[in-house]
A and B are shown apart, each in its own frame.
Chain A
């Protein structure tokens, strides 16, 4: 199974300030067809996860442009350019290059 390692475990951010979350995979997520299968989700309190970013850097429909994803191979980053109060929750990375799908342990983001 591919192990996904997220850091940090938690973040406390002042509104309007940037935030960054790292995700590393135990093997490359680059598929032979050229796509890289790394996803980012936000799970707000009491809600199911919601897709933010797919295939490393593509924002899902309706996701604000303050969210961006980057990386390649085994190292990936989610950035929030200016954190807002509605961004609180737990962020997860996930690989989908192979089954079983595996997730990072989560990064809890709170507002200072």
Chain B
């Protein structure tokens, strides 16, 4: 199970931190993603972190503004979002990497809505 929290309304230029609590699997064994979906739109990948947190990858438009991190002792995944823009408004899904050893996704959380508006 993946449960996101921390969504809400924030002004442009503001910050927000999303959290994802994982359970039911060995969290430290899997890479984790954040994927977002703007209202009425398709899916857009945001960031990925390897199982041990050694490497992190970001979509170009969020590089330098967003930071993905994980705490394997607490089975949690975070997304720190700074300098937020209106175009960052979306539902943010925490997603579990699959066991294929590559970047596939096999399970998604319910999502957290982030609204960037003045």
Residues of chain A whose beta carbon lies under 8 Å from any beta carbon of chain B:
31, 35, 37, 39, 47-51, 54-55, 60, 92, 94, 96-106
Contacts and interface: CB of A to CB of B under 8 A. Distances in A.
Interface in B67-118: 93, 98, 100, 102-111
Given A100-B45, A101-B45, A37 B106 contact: no
Nearest to B96: A51
A96 B33 CA distance: 12
Contact of B106 (A31, A47, A60, A101): A60
Given A37-B100, A49-B93, A101-B35, 9 more contacts: A48-B110, A49-B108, A51-B105, A54-B100, A94-B105, A97-B103, A99-B48, A103-B42, A106-B42
**Which A-B residue pairs are the 8 nearest by beta carbons?**
A101-B45, A48-B108, A96-B103, A96-B104, A103-B43, A100-B45, A99-B57, A51-B106
Contact of B102 (A51, A96, A105): A96
Contact of A48 (B59, B98, B100, B111): B111
16 contacts: A31-B102, A48-B111, A51-B105, A54-B98, A54-B106, A92-B43, A94-B105, A99-B45, A99-B103, A100-B57, A101-B103, A101-B105, A104-B42, A105-B42, A106-B42, A106-B43
Contact of A92 (B42, B60, B93): B42
Contact of B104 (A47, A54, A92, A105): A54
Contacts of A55: 100, 104
Contacts of A50: 108
Contacts of B33: 101
Contacts of A37: 100, 102-104
Contacts of B43: 49, 92, 94, 103, 106
Nearest to A39: B104
Contacts of B42: 92, 103-106
A35 B101 CA distance: 11
Contacts of A48: 93, 108-111
A63 B5 CA distance: 28
